[in-house]
Every structure is written in structure tokens, then in C-alpha cells.
């Protein structure tokens, strides 16, 4: 038996508390799982929150069809090992049904199309709480996000009219048709997440570690050259580079970084020394200063 819990990470205590509140206050919660490090961390926190019982809600992946294959393989393995329920809804279906239109051209991405598929899935399953891995340090509009963030029937975020959150108390009361987005790791930084993954020995997809990959350069960023998914000009030359990914979104909007960090300890060190923010490698945020705020108002994660 260990002496006391005082050495436990205060951020972990907070996240576990939040996840338990979700299970207690809502009828049909779901954990939005992207296969990225933040949502993998959430799964571990949820395991901890309910041990020795199983996680009492399903995971849901909104699959753009443009994910890295490594992420999907990892997702399926994790779900199987932990005996969790996984729901997958595809952006391709929303495109086929004519609900959203595929972008084309140089910066085309399916990233923002996810919103429609997500909102449809929330309605289909009548989810009243969606747990997500967004962090306030990621982006300026996210810094304003509450832990329990109420969305209206259209999934929209009313950023100027948010509920105050006092002390530890989380108010999850909503009207029929509304839902709450819950962010248990709101107060974690990128480094906190990586340090936690290291300390807890959590397995993550291989693309987070250095590997050689066919890539090309654009706007000073390194892109994976998968011609089916990522648009590339004739004059954008493909070259092999030693890279890793710092954030794992869609192939079409996630750039790689040059790195030889092949294990978790070197990744943590690299993040510690880094002078570029995580979202610096996400083209979806670079579209404009207010890109994230706009997407959030429309119902994005």
C-alpha cells in the first residue's frame, strides 16, 4: 500500500473529478475519440475514474476518411484491448448524402466538414454530453472555453454568454435538445500531456515518433505526400525526410516536424525545448486569426 496520494498530479485529480461528474449528471455521454494523444489521455483518465468498473460510456470517432492509417489501426487495437464500445461515423457518408461539399484545391481539407457529421451523430444517438480533449492552451478562442460548455440545438457555441463556473461546481442542467461539450483536460498544456503519457507509460500511435516519410514542402511546413488525400502542385517535390507529428489531425491539415525523437523521453525533451506552438503545424488555424472561434460557433469540437 502506498503512503498517500499527495504526489498525484493535481491536473489528474481535476480531470478525474470532471469525468465522474459527466457520468453522474448525464444520461447519454460519449467520449469523442480521434486517435490523437489528447483523446488517448482522456481514455486513460476515464479508466482511472471508474476502476475497477469499465468506462460507463462509449467512444465515438468522426472519421474524415483522411486519417493516418496508423491512427486507425491504433484506435481499433485500443478499443479491443480495453473492451470498449466504439461508434464510428464517416464524413464520406455526409458527403455522399449531399449534406456537405468536399473542398478542392491547394488547401482543401475535410477538417471543417466533420462538424456536420458530428452534429448528426449527436442527434442520432441523443448524446447529451460529449467529452473532448481540447485544451485552453492550444488556441486563443479555446482559452475562453468553459469545462462544461453548453451548445444549443444547432450545436452552436455562444461565446459571449457562457455560464460562470465557480469552485469545483459544474452545472450540467440543460434543455432537451441541448448538449454539453466537456473538456476535462482544459487546464493541461501540451507538455503536461506528454509528461503524463511518459509517466503513465501510455501507448500512442507510431506517427508521434520519428520515422522516414515521403514529404513535400509548402509555406515552410512539411506535408505528407499522400496524393489521394493531400493536394500537391507539380512543382512541389517529394522527398524522404526524418519526421514526426506533434498533433494528429487529418493528413490534409496536419504538418510534420523534422525530428529524430524516437521515444517518449526524447519527445518530452523536444517539446520542452520547442519554440513553436503545437497549432503552428495546423493549417486549419492559419486560415485567419479567428478561424477557431468561427468553427467553434458552428459546432466544431
Partner 1 sequence: MEVLKIATAGSVDDGKSTLIGRILYDTKSLTSDKLEAIEKTSKQKGYDYLDFSLATDGLVAEREQGITIDVAHIYFSTQTKSYIIADTPGHVEYTRNMVTGASTSQAAIILIDARKGVIEQTNRHFFINNLLRVKEVIVAINKMDLVDFSEDIYNKIKADFETLMEKRDYQDQNITFIPVSALKGDNVVHISKNTPWYKGQTLLEHFELLDTEDVYNVGTPRFPVQYVIRPKTEEFHDFRGYAGKVYGGELSVGDVVVALPSQTKSKIKEIYLYDQSYQTASRRSSVTITLEDDINVSRGDMLVKVDDLPTIDKQFTATISWMDSQHLVTGNKYVLQHGVNKVLAKVDAIHHKIHPDYSGIEEHISALGMNDIASVTFKLNKTIFFDPFKNHRTNGSFILIDSQSNNTVGAGFIQ
176 sits near partner 1 (criterion: CB under 8 A): no
83 sits near partner 1 (criterion: CB under 8 A): no
Q: Which stretch binds partner 1 (CB under 8 A): 96-104, 205-213, 226-234, 288-296?
A: 288-296
CB distance 300 to 122 below 8 Å: no
274 sits near partner 1 (criterion: CB under 8 A): yes
220 sits near partner 1 (criterion: CB under 8 A): no
In the block, residue with C-alpha cell 478562442: 141
Cα radius of gyration (the chain): 19
Would the CA dihedral through 40, 291, 230, 242 be positive or negative?
A: negative
In the block, residue with C-alpha cell 478561424: 291
266 sits near partner 1 (criterion: CB under 8 A): no
137 sits near partner 1 (criterion: CB under 8 A): yes
**81, 98, 160, 201: which one binds partner 1 (CB under 8 A):** 160
CB distance 120 to 99 below 8 Å: yes
Q: Which of 152, 150, 98, 90 is nearest to 117 (CA)?
A: 90
Tell me how far apart the alpha carbons of residues 178 and 229 are, in angstroms, rounded to a whole number.
34
Nearest distance from C-beta of residue 170 to partner 1, angstroms: 9
**6, 201, 212, 235: which one binds partner 1 (CB under 8 A):** 6
287 sits near partner 1 (criterion: CB under 8 A): no
- Select 11 or 62, whichever has its Cβ closest to partner 1: 11
Tell me how far apart the alpha carbons of residues 121 and 123 are, in angstroms, rounded to a whole number.
5
Which strands, in side-by-side order, build the sheet including 59-63?
Answer: 86-90, 59-63, 29-32, 129-131, 179-182, 148-151
108 sits near partner 1 (criterion: CB under 8 A): no
47 sits near partner 1 (criterion: CB under 8 A): yes
Nearest distance from C-beta of residue 9 to partner 1, angstroms: 7
**105, 164, 201, 227: which one binds partner 1 (CB under 8 A):** 164
Q: Which stretch binds partner 1 (CB under 8 A): 29-37, 89-97, 183-191, 247-255?
A: 183-191
265 sits near partner 1 (criterion: CB under 8 A): no
Q: How far is CA 280 from the centre of its chain?
A: 16
Tell me how far apart the alpha carbons of residues 133 and 26 are, in angstroms, rounded to a whole number.
18
- Select 143 or 258, whichever has its Cβ closest to partner 1: 143
Sequence-separated (6 or more) residues with CB below 8 Å from residue 23: 29, 49, 50, 56, 57
- Select 11 or 230, whichever has its Cβ closest to partner 1: 11
Q: Residue 61: how many CB atoms within 10 A of its CB?
A: 23
**13, 102, 237, 260: which one binds partner 1 (CB under 8 A):** 13
- Select 47 or 92, whichever has its Cβ closest to partner 1: 47
- Select 16 or 113, whichever has its Cβ closest to partner 1: 16
- Residue 270 in grid coordinates: 523536444
Would the CA dihedral through 91, 83, 249, 279 be positive or negative?
A: positive
Residues near partner 1 (CB under 8 A) are 1-6, 8-14, 16-17, 20-21, 23-24, 47-54, 136-137, 139-144, 159-160, 162-169, 171, 173-175, 186-187, 189, 191-192, 274-277, 280, 289-290, 293
Amino acid at each position: 500500500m502506498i503512503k498517500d496520494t499527495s504526489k498525484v498530479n493535481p491536473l489528474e485529480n481535476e480531470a478525474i473529478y470532471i469525468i465522474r461528474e459527466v457520468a453522474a449528471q448525464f444520461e447519454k455521454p460519449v467520449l469523442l475519440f480521434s486517435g490523437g494523444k489528447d483523446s488517448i489521455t482522456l481514455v486513460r483518465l476515464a479508466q482511472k475514474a471508474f476502476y475497477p468498473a469499465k468506462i460507463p460510456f462509449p467512444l465515438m470517432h468522426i472519421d474524415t476518411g483522411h486519417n493516418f492509417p496508423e491512427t486507425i489501426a491504433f484506435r481499433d487495437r485500443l478499443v479491443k484491448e480495453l473492451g470498449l464500445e466504439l461508434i464510428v461515423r464517416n464524413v464520406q457518408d455526409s458527403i455522399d448524402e449531399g449534406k456537405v461539399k468536399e473542398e478542392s484545391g491547394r488547401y482543401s481539407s475535410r477538417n471543417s466538414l466533420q462538424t456536420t457529421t458530428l452534429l448528426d451523430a449527436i442527434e442520432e444517438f441523443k448524446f447529451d454530453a460529449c467529452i473532448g480533449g481540447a485544451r485552453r492552451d492550444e488556441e486563443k478562442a479555446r482559452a475562453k472555453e468553459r469545462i462544461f460548455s453548453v451548445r444549443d440545438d444547432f450545436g452552436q457555441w455562444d461565446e459571449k454568454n457562457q455560464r460562470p463556473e465557480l469552485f469545483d461546481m459544474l452545472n450540467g442542467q440543460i434543455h432537451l435538445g441541448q448538449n454539453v461539450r466537456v473538456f476535462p483536460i482544459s487546464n493541461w498544456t501540451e507538455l503536461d500531456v506528454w509528461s503524463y503519457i511518459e509517466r503513465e507509460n501510455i501507448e500512442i500511435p507510431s506517427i508521434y515518433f520519428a520515422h522516414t516519410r515521403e514529404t513535400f514542402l509548402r509555406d515552410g511546413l512539411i506535408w505528407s505526400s499522400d496524393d489521394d488525400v493531400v493536394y500537391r502542385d507539380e512543382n512541389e517535390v517529394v522527398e524522404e525526410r526524418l519526421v514526426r507529428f506533434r498533433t494528429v489531425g487529418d493528413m490534409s491539415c496536419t504538418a510534420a516536424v523534422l525530428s529524430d525523437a524516437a521515444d517518449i523521453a526524447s519527445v518530452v525533451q523536444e517539446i520542452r525545448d520547442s519554440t513553436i506552438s503545437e497549432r503552428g503545424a495546423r493549417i486549419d488555424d492559419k486560415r485567419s486569426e479567428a478561424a477557431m472561434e468561427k468553427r467553434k460557433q458552428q459546432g466544431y469540437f
